[in-house]
Chains A and B, each alone.
Chain A
Amino acid sequence: MSKALDMVTRVRGVRGAMLVSAEDGLVVAEQLMEGIKGGAVAALAASLAGRLGRAMQAAGTGSSVFWHLQGEQGALLVVPGGGTDGAGILVVAVAEPDVNIGLVRLELLKAAEKVA
């Protein structure tokens, strides 16, 4: 599983990548730079994914394929991999604010395919 994260973390500006259990918000695998609280990111990303999934179902847009949260000092990028209704694995990247979003998205989607 850590191989799936290798290509994500090689993208310039990515500070870490994780596989997170969407159901319970626990870390399955991680490659993070020092200072990133993996457990907290995993728990909050899974919580957000669950709520977002329900909101999207309610809006009739289907399940999410990719989401990107931009912060002042960084960004969180997530691809839900496998499962339905928020179940399965989330592929999560923590990145610098000026990271190449398209490239990270591409690598996250590839990683999600590998772990599915």
Chain B
Amino acid sequence: MTAQTRAVESWTLQPLTDFVREASVRLVLVLTPSGQVLAQSGFSRAVDVMSSAALAAAIVASTAELARQLRQPPFAALSHQGPKHGFFLATFKTDRGTLAVLAVYDLDVSSLGLVQLFYEQLAADLKAASPKGAVPKQVLAADFERELTDSLNTLFGR
């Protein structure tokens, strides 16, 4: 395990660690479509995790709605490539519910093909490792702030 990879739900840790090593990605978030972070790698500030998770969840929601309006199944993955970095966002179903993976990679070190290749392995590993028969925990409004603080403390080893 690298010092920068941490998980709120421990079953996500090994698949994520393998993905980070093999795909040579810089930043990764594993989150629910509502923006609840299960694991992260590469982030050094809690505010970056919170904003990235919120933005990723918003993209998942908006593309799902766009697909619905086009009468298509939800988009499997979204990729954006800039001059130096690439972003990859994809969702998949597990026994824990639908999960999303946001990965950011340096174009000098990795590529969309590599990220896609090892993402497939990550999704398969997370599906296999997810708790069977688990009902996704609802984060109630009253507990939201405490849940968020607990998650961030875990993600940054506090």
Contacts from A to B (Cβ < 8 Å): 20-21, 23-26, 39-40, 42-44, 46-47, 50
Contact = CB atoms under 8 A, between A and B. Distances in A.
A42 B114 CA distance: 9
Interface residues of B, number: 11
B81 interface: yes
Given A47-B110, A50-B111, A24 B81 contact: yes
Given A23-B107, A24-B81, A47 B112 contact: no
Across the A-B interface, give the 9 residue pairs with the lowest CB-CB distance, nearest first. A25-B113, A43-B113, A25-B111, A24-B112, A43-B117, A43-B114, A26-B113, A24-B111, A47-B114
Contact of B116 (A20, A43, A50): A43
Contacts of B112: 24-26
A82 to B, nearest CB: 17
Interface of B: 81, 86, 107-108, 110-114, 116-117
Contacts of A39: 113, 116-117
A32 to B, nearest CB: 15
B-side binding surface: helix, strand, loop or mixed? mixed
Nearest to A21: B113
B114 A44 contact: yes
B111 A23 contact: yes
13 contacts: A20-B113, A23-B107, A23-B111, A24-B86, A25-B112, A25-B113, A26-B112, A26-B113, A26-B116, A43-B116, A43-B117, A44-B114, A47-B111
Most B CB within 10 A of own CB, among A25, A26, A46: A25
A48 B116 CA distance: 16
A56 B107 CA distance: 18
Nearest to B24: A47
B76 to A, nearest CB: 14
A44 B110 CA distance: 10
B114 A25 contact: yes
A24 B112 CA distance: 5
A25 B86 CA distance: 13
